[in-house]
C-alpha cells in the first residue's frame, strides 16, 4: 500500500512542464517598458530579477505552504539596496520613484509576499520616519533599517477600523517624559518579528492622530501571528496589543498631527502598491507562456489552441495597460502633479485587472492551476489581500470619485 509514503518528486509526477522553482524567463514586457527606464533603473531591475529568480523562486512554494518567512533571503535583499526607496541620505539608496516601483514589481513577479514584506518595511515604516520624523529619529533609525539590520512594521489598521482608519480608537495619553499607548492593531505585516513599529494613536487631549515609534520589547507591547490566511502566507501579519505601553517623548513622530499627515505617506506608498499587481501578473504570464509551450494534449502543445492564445493575449494586453498606468503615475509624481485620486485609481484599477489576468492564468493551467508549484495558484490567492489592503477597491475608487466630482460619498449618511 502507498498510504503514508511521500509524494512523488514533481519532475517525476508531472514531467511535461517545468515548475516555478526554475523561474521562467521574462516574456511579458511586450511593449518594451524596459526601454523607458534609465540605465541605472535598468541595472537595478536586472539585479533584483536575478536575486529573486535564483534565491527566492526555488524556496517560495515551501515557505508559502508552511506560512513561514524565509529569513535566509534577508541578507540577499539587503545587498540589493532597495530598502528606503526614494529616501535621500541616512544610508538610503535615493532611488527614482520609477526605479523603486520597478524593484517592487520585480520582487512581486517571483513572490508577492516578499514584495509586501519590503513595501511595509520601506514604503510605509521607513517613509513615515523620513517624512514625519525628527532629524534625530532619522539618524537613529533609518541607517539600520536601510541595511535591513533592523526590520520595521507599520500599524494603522484596527479590528474595528479598516477602511474607516481615520476613526481609530488606540489612544495616546501624555505622561511625564512620554506617552502611554493603549489599544489594538490588526493585520500588521512584519509585526511578529519587527524590531520597531510605527504606531498611530489618537491623542486624548487633542483628539487628533499622532504617530509613535515603538521598539520591540517595550513593556505592554505584544504582537501575535494571525493564522489561517489563504493569501500572502509568507507575510507574518499580526495582532498588536498595547496595554499601558510607555513611549518616550523622543519616539513621538513630530510630523504626524492629524490623519491628513498619515495620508501623505499613503499617497506615495500607493504608487508602490499599484506596481505590485504589475509584477505578480508578469510572473503569471511568464509561467503560463512556458507551460503552454511545454504541456501537450491531443497531440499538440496547449499553446497551439486558439482559445488559449486568445487568453494569453488578453493577459498580455492587461499587463501592458497596467504597466503604462504605473509608469505614468511615477512621471506625474516626479513632476509634482500626482494627486491622491490618481494614486488611488492606479491602485484599484491595477488590482482589478490583475485579478482578471491571474484568473485567466488559472484557467490555462487546468488542474495544475491549483498547485503552488506552478506559481499561478499562489498568485491567485496572494492577489486577494493586495486587492483589499491600502484601501479596498471600492474605497480607492471613491477617493478618485471625490476628486473628479468634488462630492464625498465614502461615508454613508446617518439615519
Return the CA Rg of the chain: 22
The Cα–Cα gap between 313 and 310 comes to: 5
CA angle 281, 270, 124 (to 5 degrees): 115
Beta strand spans in 167-260 (E): 171-175, 178-188, 196-203, 209-215, 221-225, 238-248, 252-253
Average pLDDT for runs of 10 along the chain of length 415: 72 86 97 96 97 96 96 95 97 97 98 97 98 98 98 96 89 98 98 98 97 98 97 98 98 96 91 97 98 96 98 98 98 96 97 98 96 96 96 94 94 70
The Cα–Cα gap between 128 and 144 comes to: 15
How many Å separate Cα 390 from the centre of its chain? 9
Q: 3-class secondary structure for 92-160?
A: CCCCCHHHHHHHHHHHHHHCHHHHHHHHHHHHHHHHHHHHHCCHHHHHHHHHHHHCCCCCEEEECCCCC
Region of 58 please: left (phi>0), alpha (psi -120 to 50) or beta.
alpha
Reading the block at residue 330, the C-alpha cell is 511615477
The Cα–Cα gap between 270 and 266 comes to: 6
Reading the block at residue 286, the C-alpha cell is 511568464
What is the predicted pLDDT for the residue at 415? 54
Q: Count how many Cα atoms sit within 13 Å of the Cα of residue 140 in the half-sphere of its side chain.
A: 12
What is the predicted pLDDT for the residue at 271? 95
Q: Rounded to two decimals, what is the model's pTM?
A: 0.95
Q: What domains, with CATH codes, occur in the chain?
A: 17-146 (1.10.540.10), 152-258 (2.40.110.10), 260-405 (1.20.140.10)
Amino acid at each position: 500500500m502507498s498510504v503514508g509514503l511521500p509524494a512523488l518528486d514533481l519532475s517525476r509526477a508531472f514531467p511535461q512542464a517545468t515548475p516555478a522553482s526554475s523561474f521562467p524567463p521574462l516574456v511579458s514586457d511586450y511593449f518594451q517598458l524596459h526601454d523607458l527606464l534609465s540605465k541605472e533603473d535598468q541595472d537595478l531591475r536586472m539585479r533584483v530579477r536575478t536575486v529573486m529568480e535564483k534565491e527566492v523562486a526555488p524556496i517560495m512554494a515551501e515557505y508559502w505552504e508552511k506560512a513561514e518567512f524565509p529569513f535566509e533571503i534577508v541578507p540577499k535583499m539587503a545587498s540589493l539596496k532597495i530598502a528606503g526607496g526614494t529616501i535621500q541620505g541616512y544610508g538610503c539608496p535615493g532611488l527614482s520613484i520609477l526605479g523603486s516601483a520597478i524593484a517592487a514589481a520585480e520582487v512581486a513577479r517571483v513572490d508577492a509576499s516578499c514584495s509586501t514584506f519590503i513595501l511595509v518595511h520601506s514604503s510605509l515604516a521607513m517613509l513615515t520616519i523620513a517624512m514625519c520624523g525628527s532629524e534625530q529619529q532619522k539618524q537613529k533609525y533609518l541607517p539600520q533599517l536601510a541595511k535591513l539590520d533592523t526590520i520595521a512594521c507599520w500599524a494603522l489598521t484596527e479590528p474595528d477600523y479598516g477602511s474607516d482608519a481615520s476613526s481609530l480608537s488606540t489612544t495616546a495619553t501624555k505622561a511625564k517624559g512620554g506617552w502611554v499607548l493603549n489599544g489594538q492593531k490588526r493585520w500588521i505585516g512584519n509585526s511578529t518579528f519587527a524590531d520597531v513599529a510605527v504606531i498611530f494613536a489618537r491623542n486624548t487631549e487633542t483628539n487628533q492622530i499622532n504617530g509613535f515609534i515603538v521598539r520591540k520589547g517595550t513593556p505592554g507591547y505584544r504582537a501575535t501571528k494571525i493564522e489561517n490566511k489563504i493569501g500572502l502566507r509568507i507575510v507574518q501579519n499580526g495582532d498588536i496589543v498595547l496595554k499601558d505601553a510607555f513611549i518616550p517623548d523622543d519616539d513621538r513622530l513630530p510630523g504626524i498631527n492629524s490623519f491628513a499627515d498619515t495620508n501623505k505617506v499613503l499617497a506615495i506608498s500607493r504608487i508602490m502598491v499599484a506596481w505590485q499587481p504589475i509584477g505578480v501578473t508578469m510572473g503569471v504570464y511568464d509561467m503560463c507562456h512556458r507551460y503552454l509551450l511545454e504541456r501537450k494534449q491531443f497531440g499538440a502543445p496547449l499553446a497551439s489552441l486558439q482559445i488559449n492564445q486568445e487568453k494569453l493575449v488578453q493577459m498580455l494586453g492587461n499587463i501592458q495597460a497596467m504597466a503604462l498606468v504605473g509608469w505614468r503615475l511615477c512621471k506625474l509624481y516626479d513632476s509634482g502633479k500626482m494627486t491622491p485620486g490618481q494614486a488611488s485609481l492606479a491602485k484599484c484599477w491595477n488590482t482589478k485587472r490583475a485579478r482578471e489576468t491571474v484568473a485567466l492564468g488559472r484557467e490555462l493551467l487546468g488542474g495544475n492551476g491549483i498547485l503552488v508549484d506552478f506559481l499561478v495558484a499562489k498568485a491567485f490567492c496572494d492577489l486577494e489581500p493586495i486587492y483589499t489592503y491600502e484601501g479596498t477597491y471600492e474605497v480607492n475608487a471613491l477617493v478618485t470619485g471625490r476628486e473628479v466630482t468634488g462630492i464625498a460619498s465614502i461615508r454613508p449618511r446617518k439615519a
